[in-house]
Chain A
Amino acid sequence: MFHLDWKLMIAQVINLGIVVFVLWFIVFKPLAKKISQRSQEIEKGLENAKQSQALLDKSQKEYLDVIMTAREKAKVIFDEAEKSALKEKEKILLIAKEESEKISKITKENLLDEKEKIMKSAKKDLADLVVLALEKTLGKAAKDGIDKDLIENSIRDIANTKDNG
């Protein structure tokens, strides 16, 4: 009924074999290889991108760490500088104070010396004035020994009077 013919069947199997060979080995196999290569390249690209991203993240983290460390170091340096400046200020102030005290002391001493000198000179001048006044009053020159004692006593009296007054 269906006219089955084994020769025809074999011929059709041969046809199928040719199609399988032609399509798979000439067309699909190289294409499959190409697709596989492309997939591998894409996967490799993705992997590289992932690695690059990881590297970038790491670099950013390192950069932030470096910045943080630098900031911390700068803060420490700044604090130290501030402390050091304060110390230096105190030191300078102390030295200045000492200098000023020294200068003040020297000035005081100088003043006292000067005062003493002036006082001595004034005393002398006063004594001379008194002698001169006495000479003028008495009309003769006082004898050195007696006059001198007299002058000194007079000056002492004047001084005492001045102090009491």
Chain B
Amino acid sequence: MTDISIFAEPIFSIKNFIVSNALINAWIVVLGFIVLAIVVRLGFSKKSSKLQNFMEWFLEGALSFGDSITGDREKTLKFAPFVLPIFCFILLSNWLGIMPGVGSIGFLAEHSGKTTFIPYLRSAMSDLNMTLALAIVAVLSTHIAGVLLTSPWKHLNRFVGLNLFLEIPKKIKQRDFSILIVNPIKFFVGIIEIAGEFAKTASLSLRLFGNVFAGEVLLGAMASMFAFFLPVPFLLLEVLVGFIQAFIFSVLILVFLNIMSESHEEHEEAHA
């Protein structure tokens, strides 16, 4: 059985920049999308082609599904430019990761006196650098959406809760002394939410990385046991896992974006 490294192996370097096999895979995915975009765009001038019809069906389906989460087509169209390409990027990366040759064609290299097999290509999502970068960008985008769609003050108070202290004197004047207990608790809940944002990043990145990497290990193990027929059901499983992981990641981002686009009070009212 070939050793499958938990991190993406370096293939070559450009000055100080090390190009890993996962990065090469990501470049192939990007190239694939560029080609697809050109093909679809060129087909626009002609009568609706099958590919264009498929893309329209996919987009309409995705937007309708997005509507079921956001509850508003306008909002869905605001988030779709970010979420939909992420879904496509993860999906294609995952499916490209199970293509023949990915993870199996490589070279042998001496490392610490031990000969190891280094594949030229590796699923982009089986590199934590990729998933963590995606998760950081996704979580940051939810905060940008929160600031732009609510207001900087409202978004800040979602976590820091300065308004909670400002409303204490007003409530005391109204003889509502429960505010002295409730608002400090709310303030600490806000602080926990800050930690929650880091947890979001970690869970998004590790879930995707873990599932895809585990799939690679599983396929590698099966292929090393018996190269013919045995990996087929697992390959089909990986096709499904690849889709599900892309779907989960993008749906979670959409949900986070939707939550952040509502003010804290609106969100609490919606859940009440």
Contact = CB atoms under 8 A, between A and B. Distances in A.
Contact of A27 (B17, B40, B86, B128): B40
Interface of B: 6-8, 16-18, 20, 23, 26-27, 29-30, 33-34, 36-38, 40-41, 44, 52, 55-56, 59-60, 63, 77, 80-82, 84-86, 88-89, 124, 127-130, 132-134, 136-137
Given A19-B88, A30-B44, A8 B20 contact: yes
Given A15-B27, A26-B41, A20 B128 contact: no
Given A10-B133, A12-B127, A18-B34, 7 more contacts: A7-B17, A12-B134, A25-B81, A26-B40, A28-B85, A29-B81, A31-B40
A16 interface: yes
A4 B205 CA distance: 13
Contact of B18 (A5, A26, A30, A35): A5
A11 B23 contact: yes
B88 A23 contact: yes
B6 A28 contact: no
Contacts of B30: 15, 18-19, 22
Contacts of A19: 29-30, 33, 85-86, 88-89
A22 B81 CA distance: 10
A39 to B, nearest CB: 9
Contact of A31 (B59, B88, B129, B133): B59
Contacts, number: 119
B85 A7 contact: no
Nearest to A39: B60
A3 B8 contact: yes
Interface residues of A, number: 30
Max count, chain A CB within 10 A of own CB: residue among B34, B82, B85: B85
15 contacts: A1-B6, A7-B17, A8-B20, A8-B127, A9-B133, A10-B133, A12-B127, A16-B133, A16-B137, A19-B33, A23-B37, A27-B40, A31-B52, A32-B59, A35-B60
Contact of A3 (B7, B29, B84): B7
B77 A32 contact: yes
Nearest 5 interchain pairs by C-beta: A3-B7, A9-B133, A23-B85, A24-B81, A26-B37
A23 B84 contact: yes
Contact of B33 (A1, A2, A11, A22): A22
Contacts of A44: none
Contact of B29 (A13, A15, A25): A15
A116 to B, nearest CB: 117
A27 B132 contact: no
A26 B37 CA distance: 6
A1 B132 CA distance: 14
A2 to B, nearest CB: 4
B128 A4 contact: yes
A28 B129 contact: no
